[in-house]
Chains A and B, each alone.
Chain A
Amino acid sequence: MFQDRLLKKGLLASVMASAFVVSAFSSSAVAEDKKEVKLGVVTFLSGGAAGPFGIPARNAAELLIDAINKGQLPGAYSSVGLAGAQIAPIFVDENSKQKVADYKKLVQKDEVDAVIGYISSGSCKAIAPVAEEEKKLTVFFDCGTSQVFEDIITSPKYVFRTSAHATMDNVAAARYVVDTVKDVSTYSGINQNYAFGQDSWRDFSGSMKVLKESAKSVSEQFPKVFAGQYGAEISALLTKKPDIVHSSFWGGDMEALVIQGGGRQLFSRSKVVLTGGETGIERLGSQIPDGTIIGARGPNGPLAEDSALNDWFVKAYVDRFKSLPTYPSYHMAQAILGVKSAADKANSTDQAATIEAFKGLEFEVPSGKISMNLAGGHQATQGTAFGTYKFDKASGKGTLVNIKRYNAACVNPPEGMKSLEWIESGFKGAVCK
């Protein structure tokens, strides 16, 4: 009656299915001579983070891998391939509930030689210990949490991160505010209600407390991520009349905030700091009010210093994708160039040799120079920059003026110190040039 039959079939089918899976997909073709290096690339290809982050990052990966395979990169990177081996990328969607299983599948079934990926800090936290366990070179290219090497794997062997963590952005943002804005007595924040937004506000307000003791926070707004409608939050900020509004909004949320806040004079009544505002410059143009303080999570995009590599990168990206590369693209480029530098330096695609070469490496990227000098040579530090927005009517393009650069040691905690402690200690050991 309650259909409790037919189990034998079920089990048999499951065994057969598994057997099928094994035979069909585990065909292991292990080639010892590495003419080809398999690279797993994990970014958001669906969901809300795909548009602003995942796709620009994937684009940059495609661009660089093609260029590396053909030997088209300028300067120090002009050699073909990774120590001569061609790169074959496998793209995977980070938007999955089974991130760890997906990662293991990449390593075990697809037998990738290295994995570059992960935008969400939650992903990085989950993947880091697994990568160590799987003993697979894994390069986090974008996720911002400082916990990866501070709490989760304190002595990494296989995990690297080629972008500085998010603390830098908000410390630099606070420094920029103090350096350029006179008479700051009140500040407030509107950040997305999830770990990145909460951490950003914590770092920014913590830095403000140190750098400008007299100023106080008057409003902390935390709308849901992807909410899109900020009418009430903007009203709340307008009623509090803060001198500074800090926001770590990114992607569509940031653009919506600019449209809605700009329309209601939030930007003219308060000085707004958008730590991830760079991605909106091209699309929003004149909609971003002049005077808005803008960052790019590193000296990326318009904050990048002129270099042959950056010129090549911007031109090649625009030619291929008809839009300017944004900071996720820069971050991806950093990771891939990091791996290439390491492999070239080791002159081998052997994992152990590459890792050895990667540790403490310094290499050139479109946004300047990266030093792998934290967490035993596994965590990058980099200087950063902030600028003030100015729309140029004649060319119809937005630019950043009054750019201030902050060297790595000024905005990153020294080795062995946790970000929050460092901020609360009054930036102990910071060396600002």
Chain B
Amino acid sequence: MMNLDRTEKLLLAGIPILILLGFVLPEWVVNYIQVSLGTGLVALAVMIQMRAGLVSFGQGLYFCIGGYAAGMAGKFMGVSDIFILLIIGMLVSLFMAFIAGFLLRRYREIFFAMLSLALSMILYGLLSKLEVLGSTDGFNIPSPTYLGWAPEGDTAKHALYIATCIPALLCAALLNRYLRSPMGFIGEALRENEIRLEYLGTSAHRAVHIKYMIAATVSGLGGVLWALALGHVDPEMTNWTTSGQFVFISILSGVGNIVAPLFGTFILEIVRVYAVEASPNTWQMILGVIMLLTIIFLPKGLWSLIQRKKASAEETTQK
């Protein structure tokens, strides 16, 4: 009935595993997993747009909108319930994307990239001027509560981690479902040939608009989760460098599978941490070299590494 495919089954099975890892792994690793889930969702949003040939260099816009919406709900309206915060973050992102979508759906390729970048930078400019929101320093977000339950100390950490894992993986599973659905197939077709799509009897603009809204909602969710993990939001979230990172993560991880960007975000984070540790002054150079090597030797992203192994494993079993 549910018709789950392997990715979905694994994502769902991954929820308890990930939660369990939260108790087993050292806390700092769990921390990186937690923040990677937040930013990973945004990379995922970039990736599903990339599947339709749309490269968003401004996905930070919705990452930031989500984080700020939740933060402002906490700061000005005293909302601390995580479920309400998540919903607010997603709804505000969805609404903004619905409006902006009418403009963006007409654009493709580099123009889509640059226009989405421009929109995100306009928000950056606005937030940097708003002293009531702490300008470029941003502001802090209090710890969330869970339907009235307000844990403290280590319990709070675990609760938030669990509350991050579940929506993040569920969201990934839903996105996987979306990619398999007729609408997802249309997205794929969009990248290849819009004329044919129109001649088949469906609207390419509408498909782009829908995809854009989905991506925004997911990014908004990522923004809320990330902001809660950090306890702080600032306009850097919508700076182009942040958006650029999302694009790079999704290219580096590969667009082949939903899991790739989530996983890739974490790996990249760990690589960065060790690059900083190994050479605090020239870690960017190390990162750049690793990126170049990845592109040269793994043009389809890190995920192809796993894919290749899988393929050779299948060959051996067939023999």
- Asked if A and B bind, the verdict is yes
Q: How far is the CA of A8 from the CA of B303 in the complex (A)?
A: 13
Q: How far is the CA of A21 from the CA of B236 in the complex (A)?
A: 29
Q: Determine whether B131 belongs to the interface, using a CB cutoff of 8 Å to chain A.
A: yes
Residue pair B28, A7 in contact (C-beta under 8 Å) = no
Residue pair B280, A92 in contact (C-beta under 8 Å) = yes
Instruction: Render A1-20 as a binary contact track against B, CB cut-off 8 A, 1 for contact.
Output: 01111111111011101100
Contacts of A198 in B (CB 8 A): 131, 135
Contacts of B234 in A (CB 8 A): 122, 126
Of A92, A93, A98, A193, most buried by chain B (CB within 10 Å of CB) is A98
Contacts of A104 in B (CB 8 A): 27-28, 31
Interface of chain B residues 215 through 236 with chain A (CB within 8 A): 229-232, 234, 236
Main secondary structure of the interface of B (DSSP, over half): helix
Residue pair B28, A2 in contact (C-beta under 8 Å) = no
Q: Give how many B residues have a beta carbon under 8 Å from the other chain's beta carbons.
A: 67
Residue pair B131, A7 in contact (C-beta under 8 Å) = no
Q: Determine whether B196 belongs to the interface, using a CB cutoff of 8 Å to chain A.
A: no
Q: How far is the CA of A120 from the CA of B32 in the complex (A)?
A: 22
Contacts of B139 in A (CB 8 A): 125
Which one of B27, B136, B310 lies within 8 Å of A6 (CB-CB)? Answer: B310
Residue pair A105, B273 in contact (C-beta under 8 Å) = yes
Contacts of B179 in A (CB 8 A): 2
Contacts of A194 in B (CB 8 A): 128, 135-137
Contacts of B35 in A (CB 8 A): 98, 100-101
Q: How far is the CA of A351 from the CA of B11 in the complex (A)?
A: 43
- In the complex formed, the residue of B with least CB distance to A100 is B230
- In the complex formed, the residue of B with least CB distance to A192 is B136
Instruction: Render B178-218 as a binary contact track against A, CB cut-off 8 A, 1 for contact.
Output: 01100010001000000000000000000000000000000
- In the complex formed, the residue of A with least CB distance to B273 is A105
Q: Determine whether B318 belongs to the interface, using a CB cutoff of 8 Å to chain A.
A: no
Contacts of A93 in B (CB 8 A): 276, 280, 283
Residue pair A45, B281 in contact (C-beta under 8 Å) = yes
Q: Determine whether A97 belongs to the interface, using a CB cutoff of 8 Å to chain B.
A: yes
Residue pair A100, B232 in contact (C-beta under 8 Å) = yes
Known contacts: A14-B263, A98-B32, A105-B32. The answer to whether A7 contacts B257 by CB under 8 A is yes
| Contact surface of B with A, Cβ cutoff 8 Å | 5-7, 9-10, 13-14, 17, 21, 24-29, 31-35, 39, 128-129, 131, 134-140, 176, 179-180, 184, 188, 229-232, 234, 236, 242, 245, 256-257, 259-260, 263, 266-267, 269-270, 272-273, 276-277, 280-281, 283-284, 303, 306-307, 309-310, 313
| Contact surface of A with B, Cβ cutoff 8 Å | 2-11, 13-15, 17-18, 21-22, 25-26, 45-46, 90-93, 96-102, 104-105, 107-109, 120-122, 125-126, 129-130, 145, 147, 152, 193-196, 198-199, 202
8 contacts between A and B (CB under 8 A): A2-B179, A6-B257, A11-B13, A125-B139, A126-B140, A147-B137, A193-B129, A195-B137
